[in-house]
């Protein structure tokens, strides 16, 4: 029972009021004790049901569509996950409804841990969202894959480059290139933009991801030039090494102008710096990790258009569509005119926009399976990072960017439209 502030009572009335209040306090205490007892006897679910039934205000759930957000919100990968969430939430602010219904984001924290990830995805799937977005970290998406497929709820990965995320899983899609795609894109850049018919490769020993990128790069170079010797120099190094003079001397002697460098960013920066010291006139080619702040901080003023080019998922200095213009305007209105969104934010935005577009294209009362059919239906989805169409594997056919660093900022070198 609620008591508002009372005034103008005589002493007897105040005494009476106090008595009523004390009596009701006893009554309320009894109710609380009963609820606590039930919680002890039957667990948290009982209290949750009691809370929903008696304490929460009833809502009309028929007018709400849920989209799941499956990300590391705690643990070692939480900062990277936060960037993807930032993009999702910005898109949600811009497009809060679809088909006349409110879109509700439901979150699941996989804790940057594979065991927590399995629990998190199971709990999220119980809520039956129409689509799930995430997770940062390919391994967490792979943990979720079988559960998502079993429940027939489509998911859109944002920055997962491991091909295993979508392989043999008709319910998982992604909005970024896989590792092998990046090798193919860089080969295209060397052949069509730099007009070179030969190249070199410098890769770390025992790195499967680097090898996938290298294989795609070398295959494309050989196929397009019809020359099995298009890769003039092919050198390996031990990850974590400090001296790369042997490998760089071989590159210098080969006379190539472009060299694929698909290893970890720390090794890559050291190689670029040592090559500069040796006076090599070479453009090193890297993956999208080179667009990160970590790479920029390690490389400093060492990198520029003269020695560096890399694949980028998003180009902030390229407005290629109405959606990319809307995204950048909304981002700067929220974070400042000079704010530059990272590619993870743009791709998180794209994942949400594509999910809502697919829901819109499906029937008004369509379920997850129907939404999945729309995603797989070869539609050209408009996103901040460009036009995206999913192939039969759930991987994107999309706009590609080649960028570099110039004066501490990313500079676009070339944009490739999907074909």
- Report residue 55 as tokens: 């304490």
pLDDT score recorded for residue 319 = 79
pLDDT score recorded for residue 52 = 45
* Strands (E) located in 194-307: 199-204, 231-237, 258-260, 283-286
CA dihedral 322, 324, 329, 334 (to 10 degrees): 140
Buried b (16+ CB within 10 A) or exposed e, 307-331: bbbbbbbbbbebebbebbebbbebb
pLDDT score recorded for residue 2 = 33
DSSP per position, 361-377? HS-TT--HHHHHHHHTS
* C-alpha span between 169 and 166 (Å, rounded): 5
Condensed to tens digits (0 to 9), the pLDDT of residues 239-295 reads: 999 999 999 999 999 999 999 999 999 999 999 999 999 999 999 999 999 999 899
Condensed to tens digits (0 to 9), the pLDDT of residues 195-236 reads: 999 999 999 999 999 999 999 999 999 999 999 999 999 999
Beta-carbon contacts of residue 350 (< 8 Å; ≥ 6 apart): 87, 91, 158, 175, 381, 383, 384, 385, 388
* C-alpha span between 116 and 112 (Å, rounded): 8
pLDDT score recorded for residue 103 = 97
* C-alpha span between 120 and 10 (Å, rounded): 59
Mean pLDDT of successive 10-residue segments in the chain (419 residues)? 33 37 42 41 42 46 92 97 98 96 97 97 97 97 97 97 94 94 95 96 95 96 97 97 97 97 97 96 96 92 95 87 93 94 95 96 88 90 92 92 92 85
């Amino acid at each position: 029972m609620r008591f508002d502030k009372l005034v103008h009572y005589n002493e007897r009335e105040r005494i009476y009021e106090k008595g009523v209040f004390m009596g009701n306090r006893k009554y309320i205490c009894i109710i609380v004790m009963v609820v606590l007892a039930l919680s002890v006897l039957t667990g948290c679910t009982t209290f949750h049901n009691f809370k929903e039934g008696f304490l929460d205000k009833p809502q009309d759930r028929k007018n709400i569509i849920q989209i799941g957000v499956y990300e590391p919100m705690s643990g070692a990968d939480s900062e990277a996950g936060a960037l993807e969430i930032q993009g999702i939430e910005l898109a949600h602010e811009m497009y809060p409804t679809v088909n006349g219904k409110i879109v509700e984001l439901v979150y699941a924290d996989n804790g940057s841990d594979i065991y927590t990830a399995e629990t998190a995805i199971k709990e999220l799937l119980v809520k039956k969202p129409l689509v799930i977005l995430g997770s940062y970290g390919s391994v967490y998406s792979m943990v979720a894959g079988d559960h998502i497929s079993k429940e027939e709820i489509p998911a859109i990965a944002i920055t997962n480059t491991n091909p295993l995320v979508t392989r043999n899983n008709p319910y998982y899609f992604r909005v970024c290139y896989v590792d092998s795609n990046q090798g193919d894109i860089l080969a295209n850049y060397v052949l069509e933009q730099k007009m070179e018919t030969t190249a070199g490769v410098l890769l770390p020993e025992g790195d499967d991801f680097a090898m996938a990128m290298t294989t795609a790069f070398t295959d494309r170079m050989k196929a397009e030039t019809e020359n099995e010797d298009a890769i003039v120099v092919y050198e390996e190094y031990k990850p974590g090494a400090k001296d790369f003079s042997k490998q760089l001397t071989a590159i210098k002697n080969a006379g190539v102008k472009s060299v694929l460098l698909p290893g970890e960013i720390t090794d890559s920066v050291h190689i670029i710096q040592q090559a500069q010291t040796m006076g090599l006139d070479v453009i090193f080619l890297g993956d999208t990790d080179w667009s990160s702040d970590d790479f920029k901080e390690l490389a400093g003023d060492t990198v520029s258009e003269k020695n560096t080019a890399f694949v980028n998922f998003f180009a902030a200095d390229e407005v290629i569509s109405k959606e990319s213009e809307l995204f950048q305007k909304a981002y700067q209105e929220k974070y400042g005119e000079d704010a530059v969104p990272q590619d993870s934010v743009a791709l998180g935005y794209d994942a949400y926009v594509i999910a809502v577009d697919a829901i819109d294209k499906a029937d008004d009362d369509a379920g997850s399976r129907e939404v999945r059919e729309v995603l797989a239906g070869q539609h050209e989805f408009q996103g901040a990072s460009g036009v995206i169409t999913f192939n039969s594997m759930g991987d994107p056919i999309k706009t590609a960017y080649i960028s570099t660093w110039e004066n501490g900022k990313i500079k676009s070198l070339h944009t490739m439209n999907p074909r």
